[in-house]
Structure 1
C-alpha cells in the first residue's frame, strides 16, 4: 500500500474522533505554539532515552526539570526525568515512597509487610492503581455532598507507622478545590516529632502534577520537615526530587 493511501485511510478513521478542544476533562495539552510542534516533528526520529547518543536532548530535559523545581521552590539540587504522563510519574513517585519507607523500617528491624497509603477520593485514579499493582493498602478518605476536599481531621485517624505516604490535591479534577495542604503538613510535622515519619505528595493541576513536601525530604523520607518535589507537566511529564529522596 502506498504511503499516501495509508494516510488517507487513517484520516478517514480519525474524521469522527473526539475533539480535544471540547474535552473538558482532558489532562493533556490541547494546543501549542507552531514552533513547539515544529521542534517535536523535527526530532521524532531521535531515541531520547539513549542519553549517551543524544546528550544535548538529555541536558534540555534536565533544564526543564530544574525550571519546574524552581517553580515549586524545591530546595537545593534537584534531579529527575521525564515520563510518558502523569500515570507513570505517579507510579515512580509512589514507588519511591514505598522503597524509602521499607528502607527505614528494615534499618529499625521492623516488619515491612503491611504498607499503606493515605489519600482522599479526589485524587488521580492512578494512586489506586499503584496500591493494587504494588501491594499497598489504600486508605481512602471518602468525599460527600458539600465536602469535596480533605484536611488534617480526615488524615490523622488513618495514619500509622506503616503509612508510606500521604497524598493531597491542589485543584481537584471534579471541582478545582484544594485540599488543606497546610493543615495536613502541620499534622505530618506533629507525627514526625512523635517519631512517625510520614511522606507527603501533593497532586496539582487536574491530576497532572504530583509534588511532595515531606517530613522526610519529599515524597519519601528521613524525618526533617524539608521539602522536595516530584512533578509532571501536562504534556511531557517530569519527575524530580532531591538526591536524599532517591537515596
Structure 2
C-alpha cells in the first residue's frame, strides 16, 4: 500500500511508507536543487572518484571498522596505511603508531589530548593552566580541544601579510605551561603553509636556552597529502625531531570520500599510553584509541585502494594538475586588476582573494551561485579589521576548461557590475 508523499514541511514520520523506487525519487527530487559537488568550490572534501572506487566503497560500507576480530584483513589494511603514511612523512614505518579517525578534527583532538597527558606526566600542573600555541588561522577543532579540555589557547594575532604563526611569535608565546605548538601545513583561510621548520628551530633554541621542551604537532589536514608529492624538499614532517605527531584528512587530498582522518605519532613513546583503551568486544581484546567507536570501514578500504591505484607518481600527477589549474585561474583573476590575491594556489591548490572597494564579494558570490558555482565569502580573523575574502578550492575534478569558464563568469560580473 502506498503512503502519502512527505514534503519539506512534514515534521513527523509518515503513517505509511512508499515503495523503494518512489522513496528514492522523492529524496532525489528534494535534493536536486543543491549545487553539483564538482562545482562546490567551498569544500576541500573529495567530490569525485572512479567507478571502481565507488563500487568498493559501496561494497564495504556495511563493514564495521571496529569489528577487528571479524575483519582482520581490513585491520591489516588500516595498519598498512599508517605505515605508508609514516614513510611518506619521513619516519621509519616500523616505528610510527596511529589510527584512522572519522575526520581530521577527531585526529586533532586525539593529538591534543596526547600533548596534554605528556605535559601532565612531565611537569604536573602545579595548579597552573596548560596552554596551547597556534596561529589565528588554526582550525576551529583546536579551539574546541582547548575548551573541552580546559587548555588556554594562545593565539598569534593575524597581521597583514601573515595570517598564521611564525617562528619568533611561537617562541614568544611558549613557557613552562605550554603543552605544544600547532603548525599548520595548509591553511583553510588562504592555502598557505606555515614555516614549520623555522618554528621547530625556534623551539629547539628555546629548549637549549631555557630548558623548556615544547613539542610540535603539525596539522596537515590538507597539506599532508600534497606537500610530500609536490614539495618533497620542504621540511615539515617527522624529519624534524621536534615534530611529535601529525594529523591529516584522507577525505581531502587523500582522494577518499568523506569521512576519514589520520593521526600518527612518531613512536609508542611519543603517543601517550593514556589514550589507549583495552576493549573486550565481540570476544576478543583490542586496543581502542579513537574517540568514536563503530563506523564504516569503507573509507579505510578506499585509502588503501588509492595508494595501490595511484602510487606515488599518480598522486603527484593528480595534485600537480590541480595546482597548475589553481595557479592558472589565480593568474586570470589577478589580470582583471580588481582583486588582491592572498593565496595564489602555489602551495595548496587554493585561491583566496580580497577585492578592491568597487567590487562586492558577496554580490559576486551570489552571481556565481546563480550560475551553479558555490564559492564562499568569509571574514579574516578580527585582528585584520573585517577583511572579506572569497576562496576557491581546486580539487582533482576541476578541469582547465572549467577554470576558464569560472574566470569568464567573474569577468562578466565585473563588466556589468560597474556600469
* Fold conserved between structures, TM > 0.5: yes
Matched-pair contact (CA < 8 Å) for 1:170–1:203: yes
How many residue pairs end up in the alignment?
Answer: 234
> By how many angstroms is 1:191 displaced?
2.3
| Match among 178, 184, 199 for residue 169 of structure 1 | 184
Go from structure 1 to structure 2 and tell me whether the alpha carbon gap of 1:130 and 1:227 turns closer, same or farther (over 3 Å shift).
closer
For 1:184-199, list aligned pairs within 5 A.
Answer: 184-193=199-208, 194-199=210-215
Give the corresponding residue for 1:50. 67
Matched-pair contact (CA < 8 Å) for 1:152–1:184: yes
Give the corresponding residue for 1:159. 174
For 1:45-194, list aligned pairs within 5 A.
Answer: 45-75=62-92, 76-106=94-124, 111=126, 113-193=128-208, 194=210
TM-score w.r.t. the length of structure 2 is: 0.52
Q: Which runs of 5+ in 1 are unaligned?
A: 219-224
Cα separation, 1, equivalents of 2:180 and 2:237: 11
Matched-pair contact (CA < 8 Å) for 1:86–1:208: no
Cα separation, 2, equivalents of 1:226 and 1:199: 6
Matched-pair contact (CA < 8 Å) for 2:218–2:243: no
> By how many angstroms is 1:17 displaced?
2.2
TM-score w.r.t. the length of structure 1 is: 0.86
Deviations 1:116-156 (CA, angstroms, capped at 9, x unpaired): 00000112121111111111100011112222232112112
Cα separation, 1, equivalents of 2:268 and 2:111: 13
| Match among 239, 258, 261 for residue 237 of structure 1 | 261
Deviations 1:39-86 (CA, angstroms, capped at 9, x unpaired): 110111111111111111011011111111111112451121111111
For the aligned residues, what is the CA RMSD? 2.3
> By how many angstroms is 1:231 displaced?
2.2
> By how many angstroms is 1:113 displaced?
4.1
Matched-pair contact (CA < 8 Å) for 2:250–2:262: no
Give the corresponding residue for 2:316. none
Cα separation, 2, equivalents of 1:226 and 1:184: 9
Greater CA radius of gyration, 1 or 2? 2
Matched-pair contact (CA < 8 Å) for 1:149–1:180: no
Go from structure 1 to structure 2 and tell me whether the alpha carbon gap of 1:112 and 1:26 turns closer, same or farther (over 3 Å shift).
farther
> By how many angstroms is 1:184 displaced?
0.7
> By how many angstroms is 1:192 displaced?
2.4
Give the corresponding residue for 2:47. 30
Query: Higher mean Cα deviation, 132-141 or 148-157?
Result: 148-157
Give the corresponding residue for 2:35. 18
Matched-pair contact (CA < 8 Å) for 2:111–2:245: no
> By how many angstroms is 1:89 displaced?
0.9
Go from structure 1 to structure 2 and tell me whether the alpha carbon gap of 1:71 and 1:112 turns closer, same or farther (over 3 Å shift).
farther
Cα separation, 1, equivalents of 2:250 and 2:270: 23
Q: Which runs of 5+ in 2 are unaligned?
A: 1-16, 226-235, 252-259, 273-419
